[in-house]
Structure 1
Amino acid sequence: MRAIFFDEDDARAVVARLRADGFEARLERERLAGEDDDEDHPWAVLSDAPGFMLEVLVDTHEGWLDEEDARPDLGTEAAPVPPAPVDLPDAPRRLKRA
């Protein structure tokens, strides 16, 4: 999971807290598309900590949780069966007799 923070001090505090609790955590700079100024990029904390713990830390340090990485691997789940095709007419329906 990833937690995103705009303040470097908050991000470092979250990494320190997670490591103190025995979880792996690392800090990365998150590059936003179209953002040219390196100083405006947010900080991403990547961790194997449970989601509820990261939620509490995100609320405390005014960040947000990116749950995109928390999705299960789509290759391990059975693909849904597509519905059967609809039987469509070959020509338009005539309302008047010829």
Structure 2
Amino acid sequence: MPDRDTAETAMEELSARRPDLGEVELVRDSLAGEDDAEDAQWLVVLEAPEEGGWTTEQLADLDAFTAEHDGWREED
């Protein structure tokens, strides 16, 4: 997300909408090769549940949520 306020709003909305997803964290991520702080993005980070991972319902809801906020979901 382009700024902290937008990311915080999304984080609060996601936490309220899906408390079963666990702790939600904000992370500031500078774009590769960019020195200007204006080029940093804010990420809303969730950890997958230790046992069983994400359910199909949770992933579908996360995809819908990110689409509403012009974002995307990544897994590592």
TM-score category of the 2 structures, normalised to the smaller one: 0.5 to 0.7
Aligned residues: 64
What residue ranges of structure 1 are gaps of 5+ in the alignment? 70-98
Report 1:58-69 matches (<5 A): 58-67=66-75, 69=76
**Offset, 1:65:** 1.7
Contact 2:2 2:40 in 1 (8 A): yes
Q: What's the CA shift string for 1:43-68, capped at 9, x where partnerless?
A: 1111147322221121111112222x
User: TM (normalized to structure 1)?
Assistant: 0.54
Partner in structure 2 of residue 41 of structure 1 = 40
Structure 1 stretches of 4+ with a deviation exceeding 4 A read none
User: 1-side partners of 2:61 and 2:74: how far apart?
Assistant: 13
User: 2-side partners of 1:40 and 1:57: how far apart?
Assistant: 24
What is the percentage of aligned positions where both structures have the same residue? 39
Residue of 12, 23, 40 corresponding to 1:16 = 12
User: TM (normalized to structure 2)?
Assistant: 0.66
Task: Considering Cα pairs closer than 8 Å and 6+ residues apart, tell me whether 1 or 2 has the greater RCO.
Answer: 1
Larger Rg: 1
